[in-house]
Amino acid sequence: MSEENIYTFENEEYRRTYWHTCSHVLAQAMKRLHPEVKLAIGPSIDTGFYYDFDTPRPFTPEDLEALEAEMRKICKEKLKLERFELPRAEALELMKDEPYKVELINDLPEDAVISFYKQGDFTDLCAGPHLDSTGRIKGNAIKLTSATGAYWRGDSNRKMLQRIYGVAFAKKDDLDAYIQQREEALKRDHNKLGRELEYFTTVDSIGQGLPILLPKGARTIQLLQRWVEDVEQKRGYLLTKTPLMAKRDLYRISGHWDHYLDGMFILGDPHDEEKECFALRPMTCPFQYQAYLNRQRSYRDLPMRLGETSTLFRNEDSGEMHGLIRVRQFTISEGHLVLRPDQLEEEFKGCLELAKYFLGTLGLLDKCTFRFSQWDPANPNNKYEGTAEQWETAQRVMGEILDDLGVEYDIGIDEAAFYGPKLDIQYKNVFGKEDTLVTIQIDMLLAQRFGMYYIDENGEKALPYIIHRTSMGCYERTLAYLIEEYAGALPTWMAPEQVRFLPVTDRAADYCAEKAKAMEAMGFRVEVDYRNEKIGKKIREAQMEKIPYMVVVGDRDMENGTVSPRHRADGDLGAMSFEEFAALVKDVVDTKAKK
């Protein structure tokens, strides 16, 4: 990067430093307007910054406006930011009125450097870095975007704090462009649009992260599941169906009990060894392994590709819940491939090609990025199984495979599964929040835990490798991204309702019913709007519901034996024979066109 771009938003480090400084300006504005509020933490994030506060009441839009105004004043004051360090005792004394800062200081290692940043009359515990002056921030390019609840340190057993999100830019024009983009994102937000179009809902008495799929959402996910299962069967996958729960004994063998207990829903007392204790499954691997272990296997049996449409349960933090993207019960296109070491690259390639096929057909692949998730050698005992040598081997092999396949990827340290490295296919929602859509993992460890041997060509027992993979990932999350990608107008082949007949008069109702029944017999999903309403209203409502094809039928159509279809995007398609229309829709569906 050229020297003149070091201090611009093109430089990610500078951008994050700018946003981090904005979080301190927000905290200073908060203490000026509401001195009773206690400070928690305020980092920069990928999309801006936030600060968590302990406040006696929720923040209102008016509060955010007042805070923005005060932040602009602080920027105009051009306060110098000064870093200084203190011994632990003096640091605790300085922060004695800020309980969350005191807790953070007490949690630091004994030899940690305890640093602060001061700007005018405001001082905050912080490692930095920061800009040298609040005057570097353009006050008229700051926007506080929302206020939400967030548990202290992400622990649902701790106090709920108020989190204020914000963003800032170097120029007012950039902020205006961001606001316009955000308004468009809000229109596409699946959490809003998916409810309006009646794909899903949530109910407080059922619980957070446990959405109800309404008939439209359930139908679309069913279509996706059938498609995935049919394609996988053609590619040599064997279908399994395994229990939703198991005794803790199974999770102890797999290692999940030691490494994943906090993320599991436990049925019983996990600490009472005298009584049986069960847990809802957070993944399917230890269950699917039993299909392999059902009898002795030969090298000729491999690869064994096991696939399952799996319902899983994960105890996500309340603050992480978001519509269909972050949920506590979800369904996934899960699979495990048991294979010989010499088959690893070819099978990994097949898994990647399959995921690309699904995501490409859905229209999501172009926006995906790839992350090679690796272990953190500094944290082997707490999170990871196996030796350093095993991990180095697994990561070297996976790196060679990815390079051979020409995959462009970023590296994510400490993002691996506890038993092996993985390729994560990442996707961002309309607000820029990134989540994993598909994962492909190489596992060289768990086969030994379960005694998953095979007899090799020399008659000796050998351990296989295992690939853990999803082909489309979580169906609920995929549906959320599809709603956002297509602004609710899902492609015809996956739309829950593909065609709606709209009789202009009561005289046309029987004709519409006859044609609708004929299309249903061809496998299309069809409805008839029999209501005694004006045709313009019927068309507008079908358009708002994102129905792909609306078939208007009047007296002339009945006389001529034709139909007059409209497409939600292309408009009036003109009168045509029923056979022509059915063939048109069939071609769109069969080719899985994105319209």
**DSSP annotation of 284:** S
Which tokens in the block code for residue 566? 């409209």
Closest Cα to residue 473, out of 434, 518, 503, 436? 436
How far apart, in Å, are the Cα atoms of 240 and each of 292, 305, 308, 310, 414? Answer: 11, 10, 5, 9, 31
Which tokens in the block code for residue 527? 């409805």
Closest Cα to residue 223, out of 309, 334, 283? 309
Which tokens in the block code for residue 217? 């959402």
Q: How crowded is the C-beta side of 246, counted as CA atoms within 13 Å?
A: 21
Instruction: Give dist(CA 127, CA 26) in Å, integer.
Output: 17
What pLDDT score does 11 carry?
83
- Whether a cis peptide bond, with omega within 30° of 0, leads into 109 is no
Pairing relationship of beta strands 499-503 and 526-528 according to DSSP bridges? parallel
Residues of the chain with pLDDT under 70: 1-7, 319, 380-382
Which tokens in the block code for residue 446? 């768990």
Contact 30, 51 (CB under 8 A): yes
Which tokens in the block code for residue 38? 């206690």
In the block, residue with structure tokens 């009990």: 257
Instruction: Name 81's bridge partners.
Output: 119
**pTM of the entire structure?**
0.84
